[in-house]
């Protein structure tokens, strides 16, 4: 754990709430639901934290995180090199 952040192995535990508004018998009621989750630590995992902050959906987040993997980087490198190589 880094002494400058409150993370555990690159993750920070967070709590957030969602407010759901409903109409019951002509009255509007608000229901608060509290959830516990985790986020990437911006100190220990700045790339992943940025991706998490700028992704619009969980599917987009997953796709962008998969592109960071070493396997995916090697695959992209091979594709780029293949496009550069010409056989005469």
4-48 confidence digits (pLDDT tens): 568 888 899 999 888 999 888 889 999 999 999 889 999 988 999
In a domain? residue 39? yes
Which among 62, 67, 37, 43 has a CA at the least distance from the CA of 52? 62
Same structural domain for residues 51 and 29? Answer: no
Domain region containing 11: 1-44
Does residue 54 share a domain with residue 33? no
Q: Are residues 36 and 51 in the same domain?
A: no
Q: What is the pTM of this model?
A: 0.58
Do 11 and 38 sit in the same domain of this protein? yes
Is the residue at 30 inside a domain? yes
Q: How many domains does the chain have?
A: 2
Is residue 39 domain-shared with residue 4, that is, in the same domain?
A: yes
Dist. CA 31–CA 83, nearest whole Å:
56
Residue 88 resides in a domain: no
> Are 1 and 40 members of one domain?
yes
């Amino acid at each position: 754990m880094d002494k400058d952040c409150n993370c555990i192995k690159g993750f920070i535990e967070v709590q957030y709430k969602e407010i759901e508004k409903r109409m019951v018998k002509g009255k509007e009621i608000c229901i608060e639901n509290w959830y516990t989750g985790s986020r990437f630590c911006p100190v220990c995992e700045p790339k992943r934290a940025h991706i998490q902050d700028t992704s619009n959906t969980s599917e987009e987040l997953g796709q962008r995180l998969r592109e960071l993997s070493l396997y995916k980087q090697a695959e992209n490198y091979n594709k780029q090199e293949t496009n550069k190589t010409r056989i005469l």
